[in-house]
């Protein structure tokens, strides 16, 4: 792979300053100042929504909305190759970050709350995949609750624990805080990806991601 190809791919990333820790992004256009260190999100549900080896040298924060068609496109068209070539190979870990666009997606808030309650039971990724796979089914429902409970049945979730999680509102608050932190950090659309200090937006194809990840991996490990 030529240096010219690597450089061209790298320019697709908008380099961003750090919030550090879990959220690290500041957009290229004027944005609100980043949150102070004391306000950074401490999330006990981070591990259940992270896929890949904890020691993977590259971290991707996937900022997404379950009702977003472009997010579904990334899941369907790019994620399988990303999983196979980089996550399963121990090169990359992917962390899901909540940004439900509630102003335009009427069922996004409920979907994210359901998925985070699934994370409490360590069923996040199974629910994540079913929500994207069946997005057209639940996205326009007046009340998606019955559909979500059918997903809970299909993935083996405990109904009593799910009811308690939703009624407590604790994951709802976590999602809201996380979304606010993401927006304050400069992310403005879904899907967006924070990759080792760079911000990439849109349902990027694997042809775009591959040279970027290969370049970062070589720089961090010395391997190809």
What is the rounded average pLDDT of the residues 122-148?
96
DSSP for 178-218, please give it. Answer: HHHHHHHTT--SSSEEEETTEEEES---HHHHHHHHHHHHH
**Which of 36-40, 190-194, 195-199 shows the lowest mean pLDDT across its residues?**
36-40
d(CA 112, CA 109): 5
The reported pTM is 0.82
Residue 192's pLDDT is what?
A: 96
* Domain ranges for the chain: 3-19+46-221
Where does residue 15 rank: exposed (0-12), middle (13-18), buried (19+ CB within 10 A)?
Answer: exposed
Q: Contact 108/66 with Cβ under 8 angstroms?
A: yes
Residue 207 reports pLDDT greater than 80: yes
What is the rounded average pLDDT of the residues 77-97?
97
Residue 107 reports pLDDT greater than 80: yes
Residue 27's pLDDT is what?
A: 30
What is the rounded average pLDDT of the residues 102-109?
96
Residue 2 reports pLDDT greater than 50: no
Each residue's pLDDT tens digit, 53-84: 999 999 999 999 999 999 999 999 999 999 99
Each residue's pLDDT tens digit, 148-189: 999 999 999 999 999 999 999 989 999 999 999 999 988 989
- State the angle between helix axes of 124-133 and 69-77 in degrees (0 to 180), rounded to the nearest 10: 110
**11 vs 222: which has the higher pLDDT:** 222
Rounded to the nearest 10 degrees, how much is the dihedral formed by the CA atoms of 53, 63, 149, 79?
-60
Residue 43's pLDDT is what?
A: 64
Q: Which two tokens stand for residue 115?
A: 């998925």
d(CA 123, CA 51): 12
Q: Which CATH superfamily is domain 3-19+46-221 in?
A: Glutaredoxin (3.40.30.10)
Which band of pLDDT confidence, cut at 50, 70 and 90, is reported for residue 124?
A: very high
Which band of pLDDT confidence, cut at 50, 70 and 90, is reported for residue 116?
A: very high
Residue 224's pLDDT is what?
A: 76
Each residue's pLDDT tens digit, 6-49: 323 333 344 344 333 444 333 323 233 333 322 333 467 899 99
- The residue with tokens 């040279």 is 211
Phi, psi at 203, each rounded to 5°: -80, 75
């Amino acid at each position: 792979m030529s240096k010219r190809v690597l450089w061209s791919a790298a320019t697709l990333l908008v380099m961003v300053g750090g919030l550090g820790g879990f959220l690290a992004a500041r957009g290229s256009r004027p944005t609100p100042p980043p949150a102070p260190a004391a306000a950074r999100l401490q999330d006990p549900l981070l591990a259940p929504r992270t896929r890949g080896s904890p020691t993977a040298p590259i971290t991707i924060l996937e900022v997404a909305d379950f009702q977003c068609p472009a997010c579904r496109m990334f899941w369907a068209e790019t994620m399988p190759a990303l999983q196979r070539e980089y996550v399963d190979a121990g090169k990359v870990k992917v962390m899901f970050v909540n940004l439900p666009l509630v102003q335009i997606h009427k069922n996004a808030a409920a979907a994210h709350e359901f998925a985070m309650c699934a994370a409490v039971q360590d069923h996040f990724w199974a629910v994540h995949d079913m929500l994207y796979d069946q997005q057209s089914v639940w996205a326009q429902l007046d009340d998606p609750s019955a559909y979500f409970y059918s997903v809970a049945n299909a993935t083996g979730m405990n109904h009593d624990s799910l009811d308690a999680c939703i009624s407590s509102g604790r994951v709802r608050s976590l999602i809201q805080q996380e979304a606010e932190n993401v927006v304050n950090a400069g992310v403005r659309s879904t899907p967006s990806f924070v990759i080792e200090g760079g911000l990439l937006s849109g349902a990027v194809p694997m042809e775009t991601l591959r040279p970027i990840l290969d370049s970062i991996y070589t720089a961090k490990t010395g391997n190809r």
